[in-house]
Every structure is written in structure tokens, then in C-alpha cells.
Amino acid sequence: MALETTLILFKPDAVTKNLTGQVLSRFEGAGLKIRGIKMMQLGDAVLKEHYAHIADKPFFPSVQGFMQQSPVIALALEGENAVAHVRDLLGPTDSKAAAKGTIRGDLGVDKMTNVCHASDSTEAAAAEVKRFFKADELFQF
């Protein structure tokens, strides 16, 4: 087992529906530790960088608009195999396909309105944590 840090973004639906505390409690209850947490409004540049893999797709403007509806909460979580652990807790990206008992299965609506973004690999996690947190904003306990 490897100790990893992964990135979570609480999406606008989680923030506006006051779901962040409930979801954070699930992550902590599963043994993950907070290394960093902050609220921010995402600008066009960071969204184009973060979603570079879809930035040229015709649906990207709707993703961008959704992610700018409200501030988001960026969360760096640490734990054993944190990337896979978080993704298991969340369930599939499409909330409609997510099993009850998973975060998206219980609280999500669809592919976009799905409570959280989560890093999908250790490489992505390293880049995403660095994108949203400065080194002095991450803490080790």
C-alpha cells in the first residue's frame, strides 16, 4: 500500500446544496486525512488547464459555465492508495450509474452534477494538487 495525496473539488452542486460537510465526513470516516482545504472561484485559465483533455470539445463551455456557478472547495486528501480509495467512495462519474451507498449514488444527479471531481491517477493527482495548492498550503500531521 502506498501513501498518496489526491485532489477533490467539491463542485458547485455540492457547495450550493450544503453537501460538503456530509461528504467530507465520509472521506474522514474512511480514514483519509485533510492536508489542505480552501474555497475559490475558478477562472477560465485554470478551468482550461484542468480540463485540457476536453477543452476543445463542443460541450466544454457548459462544463466551464457549471464550474463557475459558485465557488468550489479544493481539498487535498492523504491516505493509503488515496486515489483509488476516493474513487471507490465516490462511485462512477455518472451519478445515475452509481450504486446507493456511494457519494455520487446518494447525492449526485448525472455526469456533470456529481458532487465532486477526483483525480483519476497518481500522476493526475500530483499535477492537480500542485495546480490548486501552493506548497505552504499543504500540511502533514
Q: What is the pLDDT of residue 1?
A: 73
117 has catalytic annotation: yes
Confidence of residue 39 (pLDDT cuts 50, 70, 90): very high
**138 within 8 A of 76, measured Cβ to Cβ:** yes
pLDDT tens profile 53-64 = 999 999 999 999
**33 within 8 A of 79, measured Cβ to Cβ:** yes
pLDDT tens profile 98-139 = 999 999 999 999 999 999 999 999 999 999 999 999 999 999
Q: For the domain 3-37+73-137, what is the CATH superfamily, name and number?
A: Nucleoside diphosphate kinase-like domain (3.30.70.141)
User: Which residue(s) pair with 73 in the sheet?
Assistant: 10, 39
Strand bridging mode 116-118 / 33-40? unpaired
Q: What CA dihedral angle connects 121, 127, 128 and 129, to 10 degrees?
A: 110
User: Which residue(s) pair with 75 in the sheet?
Assistant: 8, 37
CA distance from start to end of the chain: 19
What is the residue-averaged pLDDT of the chain? 97
Sign of the dihedral through C-alpha 17, 49, 139, 88:
positive
State the cell numbers at 46.
485554470
Question: What are phi and psi for residue 124, nearest 5 degrees?
Answer: -65, -40
